[in-house]
Structure 1
Amino acid sequence: MVRTPHGAVRGRYERGVAVFRGIPYAAPPFGPRRFRPPAPPEPWDGVRDAAAFGPTAPKPPYSDAFAHYLSDPEIPGDDCLNLNVWTPEPAPGARLPVLVFLHGGALTRGSSAIPVYDGRPFARDGVVFVSVNYRLGVEGYGLFPDAPANPGLRDQLAALRWVHESIAAFGGDPGRVTLCGQSAGAISVGALAAAPQAQGLFRRAILQSGAPEASDRAKVRRMVRRMAARLKVPATAEAFAAVDRDLLLRTQADVGRLSSPVLGGPAFGIVTDGDLVPYDPLEALLAGDAAPGADLLLGWTRDEYLLWLVPGGLLERVDRLGPVALAAARARCHCGIGVPRGYRGLYPQAGTAETVGQMVTDRLLRLPLQRLADARPGSSYVYEFAWPSRLPDLGACHALELGFVFDTGEVPEAAKLAGEGAPPDLATTMHRAWVRFAETGDPGWEPWDASHPVRVFGEDEPYTAHGPRDAALALWTADTQAADPVPEASADGQPTRGAELRAVVRRLRRTAMVRRH
């Protein structure tokens, strides 16, 4: 039994580790609290049982194509702002390092209850592990004129404050907190690292396959307006709160079906709000104004894009489309013709899908993460996960590294993405690097400097490569269009090449939707 500021909780010992699941860190975000910032939970009398995972945030299920590879359990209930703690020593005074994990899922799916995210291996190795549920989709990231922006990110901030106030009772050191996230969770970590209100709540940060960014407010608002048009209600929080929750989720899934990291499309995201996110998080971190002195562990997988293309059936179609697909990639990445030509020159054996996928991965992930490492040499560490899945066509795809980081390759849900026969030695090595980073700020290889060291975790023994992505990333630095949107119309109102390219992207998205059905 452990006492928190809101009441006592009773966990369970499981294979030598104390586990507390479903602890509320904020009140249920429904009724009058819907679309509002998180409120403290109501204190409780007696001892609250913490044996089972708490409710997950409302979310639509994955399509059948993605559910074949990704697990996403749904636990009903309104008390979805909860977290879980795994600890080797649930007693004040232990002062162990703490790792807080934010799950991915494009800010619309995922939860802390996914079996791959079991925190026992971290606790087994001396780290207090915390995983967090937060609001998703329109509930967490809808942009309305009558409600504050970013309630899902505010949930994460509330969870961090709970950790700062409560984790000592579980044996953790509130001064040695590492904030870790993958994909959308990593984007959230970047936003919190730059948020003035989160300063002092964590000491280190891990960003896996997600870079700090602020989404275009107009794009997020467009997602909400499209949902409102389908629902035939005003695009306000008050109107959305009156809609049946299941209908809201179905509408969100339908409107967001055309969204893809490769092709873009309407999507939810973290936006600047003049409060929690006053500036673009990446620019704030590059300027050195945010999270000064924080140790960073940053990285990506070799073939991120394959998880985005294979389940939707787009891989072969993109290869067949050839120049049309490259034109769509240019529109998605806002770049000139020199960028795809440069990729063709660097990787002459690559097909169109690989060229497009690596272009988008570099533009959205590797380029901003390497810029962040460049701005913080000596305290940044960079990795690449290159072990290929045993399943056809997936390669070293997005999210594949998670079973290795958590050392949970034995659970069936890990095999859905990795296949059978994932090497346990690689999991041991990678997991130990994350544990060591949480303990000391040093994962076990040289920090980032002018030679650009990248630790590669692949089929052979891990090794350090120097500047393995420099030639491709230099193409973006040289491209004058890469940083600026392609205009939709010229000064006289005539459509430009940018508008034509975006029309190609829209056709590809429609094709993807048909293929999914």
Structure 2
Amino acid sequence: MNTVVKTAHGLLRGSVADGVHGFLGIPYAAPTSGQNRLLPPQPVQPWSGVRDATSYGASPPQVSPPESAGTEWDTALAGEDCLNLNVWTPDPGSTGLPVMVWIQGGAFEIGSTAAYNGRNFARDGVVCVVINWRVGADGFLDLGDGQANVGLLDQVAALRWVRENITAFGGDPGNVTVFGQSAGAMSIGVLLSMPRAEGLFRRAILQSGAAHHVLPAQSAHRIGRSLAEKLGVPQTREAMAGVPVPRFLEAQAELQADFRAHPNPELWGHEAATSMMLWQPSIDGDVIPRRPIDRIRAGASATVDLMVGTNTEDWKLFLAITGVIAKVTEQDLAESHSVDGFPPIGVYGLPAGTALDEYRSHYPGSSPGELLAAVETDWWVRMPAIRLADAHAKAASTTPARTYMYEFAWAAPASAQSTPWKCRSFSTPWTKIPDCSDRCSERTRLRNWLTPCTPRGFP
């Protein structure tokens, strides 16, 4: 069964199944090929007639993991007409339905709307939107030429599309929640601080990511120049845009291999080496004026409701699936060695000895790999989440906006990831964080603020 809606750019034909209306592959910006290559998103051109919206659009060009072949992450599904989104709604004829916009994770290197389905949100009365945005160097090449962070500008363009068009799907443009996981949550942490994103959403939910992962301009420029050297072209956006996409991605993979083999902060910059992400938002002075957490502390997004949190053992999953967790030895921890391309524990600002003994006392019986996972969970997500909640709560203290934290503590049989739960709805309790004096240690705040969430039902 088909269903047709009218957007600002033309008519769309979607599909209906079990009472849910789906519209897939909707362009929110122009193709990123030709003169638009590596540049900020350009407006969609209107179309005549009825555009088919019953199949997923292209994914962004990306260096996908080898195991992705034949899956929705396969690079064969990628293309330069990738700035598209999907919408699921219970009824396009409704009005005032809440809207949730999903910003996916993937280390700022991989991503595909085909990996997510918003039908269950629509079934529960929510208009769900899932967006593509450019990743890797396509999205985060910074050469100091005033054209940085185009992947974030893609997200802003998608949110503007939502504001202008979501009423056609029954949604309320004044009741938009952005939510995302990992790099998607980190993106939202930046959006909360971005002048260009102001007013585009009312609420934000950040899962396993906060507002800290950005590169200083000098580090981003160094990485951009290194990619140009790999490509053998001048260090200009125009020259790099002229390189065929397959070679552009091949050079990214080569640079990533060099980075993994030698994650030296002196070569790549401290922020890149500790996060193990070459491509991420950078402080360019324009799109990102300064560190997002600092702007949030100063009042940016003080009128936006915020929920931020983590899984109990966030980083244990990644160390386990890469096999690193079983390889870490006591000597690696004591001497601050790196293991299989992961940076040494010393780069996290945690000296061996007393600090590690503190972790051992909190995690008795843990292996060296499990202790490293606990350190990385704290460094990557838990402490940034606490700092973001603290900054937002103080900035929002004179506004009606609310600040919440959560910990997802359900022990999955195979992993601690909460993705299967996100795909249905957020049915876990939210806990308002209490006032806590600056004398409280972050671990004390962690105990005071975070309440384990007990889901009411698995989909």
* Matched position secondary structure for 1:315: coil
C-alpha separation in 2, matches of 1:266 and 1:123: 34
Write the deviation string for residues 248-301 of structure 1: whole angstroms up to 9, x where unpaired.
1122123224459996446111111222211211111122x2112211111111
Gaps of 5+ in 1: 408-430, 434-442, 463-517
Structure 1 residue 82: Cα displacement: 0.5
Partner of 1:291: 301
Cα shift at 1:71 = 5.8
Indicate the residue corresponding to 2:92 in structure 1: 90
Taking the aligned partners of 1:387 and 1:23, their CA distance within structure 2 comes to 36
**What is the TM-score when the length of structure 1 is the normalising length?**
0.75
Matches within 5 A, 1:55-454: 55-64=58-67, 67=68, 72-74=73-75, 75-91=77-93, 94-114=95-115, 117-146=116-145, 148-213=147-212, 214-257=214-257, 258-259=259-260, 264-265=275-276, 267-287=278-298, 289-319=299-329, 321-324=331-334, 326=336, 328=338, 329-337=344-352, 338-377=354-393, 379-391=402-414, 395-396=415-416, 400-407=417-424, 431-433=425-427, 444-450=429-435, 452-454=448-450
Task: Tell me, yes or no, if the aligned pair for 1:219 and 1:267 is still in contact at 8 Å.
Answer: no
The one-letter amino acid paired with 2:151 is G
User: C-alpha displacement at 1:310, in angstroms?
Assistant: 2.3
Contact map agreement 2:72 2:112 (CA 8 A) in 1:
no
Q: CA deviation at 1:432?
A: 4.1
1:446–1:323 CA distance, 2 compared to 1 (3 A): closer
Superposition CA RMSD, Å: 2.4
One-letter code of the match for 1:314? V
Residue in 1 aligned with 2:48? 45
1:27 paired residue among 30, 37, 45: 30
* 8 Å CA contact retained: 2:64, 2:73: yes
Contact kept? 1:264, 1:332, Cα under 8 Å: no
Q: Say which SS state the counterpart of residue 99 (structure 1) adopts.
A: strand
Distance in structure 2 (CA, Å) of the matches to 1:47 and 1:62: 36
Judge conservation of contact 2:215–2:280 (CA < 8 Å) in 1.
yes
Q: Could you tell me how far apart the structure 2 residues matched to 1:353 and 1:444 are?
A: 32
Matching residue within 449, 452, 455 for 1:456 = 452
Worse-superposed segment, 320-329 or 308-317:
320-329
> Quick one: structure 1 residues 234 and 313, their matched pair in 2 at CA, closer, same or farther if it must change by over 3 Å?
farther
Offset at residue 21 of structure 1 (A):
0.4
Q: Distance in 1 between matches of 2:114 and 2:191?
A: 22
Question: 230-239 or 291-300: which moved more?
Answer: 230-239
The question of whether the paired residues in 1 share the 8 Å contact of 2:102 and 2:179 is answered with: yes
CA contact (8 A) 2:143 2:225 kept: no
Equivalence for 2:268: none
SS in 1 for 2:355: helix
In the aligned structure 2, how far is the partner of 1:343 from the partner of 1:129?
40
Cα pair distance change 1:382/1:144, threshold 3 Å: same
Cα distance between partner residues in 2 of 1:342 and 1:334: 14
Shift, 1:444, TM fit: 3.5
Query: Residues of 1 paired with 2:8 and 2:104: CA distance?
Result: 25
8 Å CA contact retained: 1:302, 1:385 = yes
Assess if the C-alpha contact under 8 Å between 2:190 and 2:292 holds in 1: yes
| Equivalent position amino acid for 1:350 in 2 | S
Distance 1:307 1:446 in 2: 26
Q: Of 4, 9, 15, which aligns to 2:18?
A: 15
CA-CA distance at 1:385 after TM superposition: 2.0
Could you tell me which amino acid in structure 2 is paired with residue 97 of structure 1?
Answer: P
Where 2:191 maps in the other structure, the secondary structure is helix
| 8 Å contact from structure 1 (residues 145, 236) kept in 2 | no
Shift in Å, 1:461: 7.2
What is the identity, as a one-letter code, of the residue corresponding to 1:98?
Answer: V
CA deviation after TM superposition for structure 1 residue 312, in Å: 2.5
User: How many angstroms does 1:325 deviate by?
Assistant: 6.3
Scaled by the length of structure 2, the TM-score of the pair is 0.84
CA drift of 1:103 comes to: 0.6
Residue in 2 that maps onto 1:506: none
The offset of 1:335, in angstroms, is: 3.5
Partner of 1:421: none
Distance (whole Å) between structure 2 residues aligned to residue 265 and residue 461 of structure 1: 36
The amino acid across from 2:290 in the alignment is Y
Alpha-carbon distance in 1 for matches of 2:309, 2:273: 19
What's 1:482 paired with?
A: none
Alignment map for 1:469-480 (pairs within 5 Å): none
| Preserved contact between residue 98 and residue 176 of structure 1 (Cα < 8 Å) | yes
Q: Quickly say closer, same or farther: Cα 1:201–1:265, change in 2 above 3 A.
A: closer
- Taking a change above 3 Å as real, the CA distance of residues 24 and 369 of structure 1, as seen in their structure-2 partners, is same
Whether the 8 Å CA contact 2:143–2:220 is kept in 1: the answer is: no
Distance 1:272 1:38 in 2: 19
Asked whether the 8 Å contact 1:35–1:237 carries over to 2, the reply is: yes
Q: Identity of aligned pairs, percent?
A: 39
Q: Cα–Cα, structure 1 residues 432 and 334, in superposed 2: closer, same or farther, change >3 Å?
A: closer
Q: What is the aligned length?
A: 416
CA distance in structure 1 between the partners assigned to 2:377 and 2:392 by the alignment? 22
